């Protein structure tokens, strides 16, 4: 499957499962490791961290999946009213869609990178809702704008935020400590590796320079230098979450989420996909000339 058709297939999943039939994206809520839990869906991940002083959520999924996220919180024995903070990996529709509803329900504070804040407020139409046949009406005013290198303390959890632009101008890499796992572990999430926003046609249509692809490469290499014990994806395929859960079920003593080298391998794969996209564009250009 080509790079471009991969991107289109991802959009089809978001549209047909995430929006039109969200119940088909149901994933059983589960404890990942220690105080880290999954409450998201197959189209887009959402995680909660029990900080001991309230719940911290990373990404809120599509608005159509909000009821699944709330159900997941309940099923894990928590209460939505305990949600105090929401951090967004980036500003796309499938990662910020349920934020306004959750804030109205819980009063949680919202965090997003400064470059992606205009997407959240609706000032910039870059949420990718339009591209999947939707309209982003669930805008919100972020409480905290994140800059590169910011460090936040949420109860027992310290989160470092690095700006790694590419998938969006404000994609973040998030690093935090996992508590309750019996040892010191660092979890990490890379804000987004999808190439749908790096296609030449899309960049040109939205007034972005093609050099954003160079920034993406620099971001990947910067993140590859980080030490991450537990890779967490903002889509379940990024860290093969379902496969790992199956491994753990088959062998309860296994610890598949602690996987040395997985972080670097994932980022190397993303850079290889970028190389594939650029090669595909060059071949198309040569064929036209």
Q: What is the pLDDT of residue 154?
A: 98
pTM of the model: 0.95
102: which 2 tokens?
Answer: 């959750």
Is 3-288 CATH 3.60.20.10? no
Question: Which segments of the chain have a pLDDT < 70?
Answer: 1-9
Q: What is the pLDDT of residue 1?
A: 35
Angle between helices 99-106 and 66-75 (to 10 degrees): 50
**In the chain, where are the structural domains located?**
3-288
Q: What is the pLDDT of residues 185-236, one digit of tens each?
A: 999 999 999 999 999 999 999 999 999 999 999 999 999 999 999 999 999 9
Q: What is the pLDDT of residues 41-64, one digit of tens each?
A: 999 999 999 999 999 999 999 999
Note whether 207 and 156 are within 8 A (CB): no
Q: What is the pLDDT of residue 19?
A: 87
Q: What is the pLDDT of residue 8?
A: 46
Q: What is the pLDDT of residue 223?
A: 98
- Please, what is the end-to-end C-alpha distance for the chain in angstroms? 25
């Amino acid at each position: 499957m080509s790079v471009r058709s991969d991107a289109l297939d991802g959009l089809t999943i978001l549209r047909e499962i995430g929006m039109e039939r969200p119940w088909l994206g149901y994933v059983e809520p589960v404890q990942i490791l220690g105080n880290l839990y999954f409450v998201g869906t197959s189209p887009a991940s959402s995680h909660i961290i029990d900080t001991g002083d309230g719940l911290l959520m990373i990404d809120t999924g599509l608005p159509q999946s909000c009821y699944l996220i709330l159900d997941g919180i309940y099923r894990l024995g928590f209460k939505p009213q305990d949600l105090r903070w929401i951090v967004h990996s980036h500003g796309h529709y499938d990662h910020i869609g349920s934020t306004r509803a959750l804030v109205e329900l819980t009063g949680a504070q919202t965090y997003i990178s400064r470059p992606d804040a205009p997407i959240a407020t609706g000032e910039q139409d870059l949420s990718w809702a339009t591209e999947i046949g939707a309209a982003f009406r669930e805008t919100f005013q972020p409480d905290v704008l994140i800059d590169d290198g910011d460090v936040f303390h949420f109860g027992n959890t310290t989160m470092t935020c690095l700006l790694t632009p590419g998938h969006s101008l404000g994609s973040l890499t998030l690093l935090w400590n996992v508590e309750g796992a019996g040892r010191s572990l660092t979890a990490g999430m890379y804000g987004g590796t999808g190439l749908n926003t790096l296609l030449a046609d899309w960049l040109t249509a939205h007034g972005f320079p093609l050099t954003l692809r160079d920034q993406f490469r620099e971001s990947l290499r910067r993140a590859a230098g980080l030490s991450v014990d537990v890779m967490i994806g903002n889509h379940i395929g990024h860290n093969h979450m379902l496969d790992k859960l199956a491994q753990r079920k088959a062998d309860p003593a296994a610890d598949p989420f602690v996987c040395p080298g997985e972080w670097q391998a994932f980022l190397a794969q993303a850079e290889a996909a970028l190389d594939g996209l650029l090669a595909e564009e060059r071949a198309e250009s040569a064929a036209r000339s």
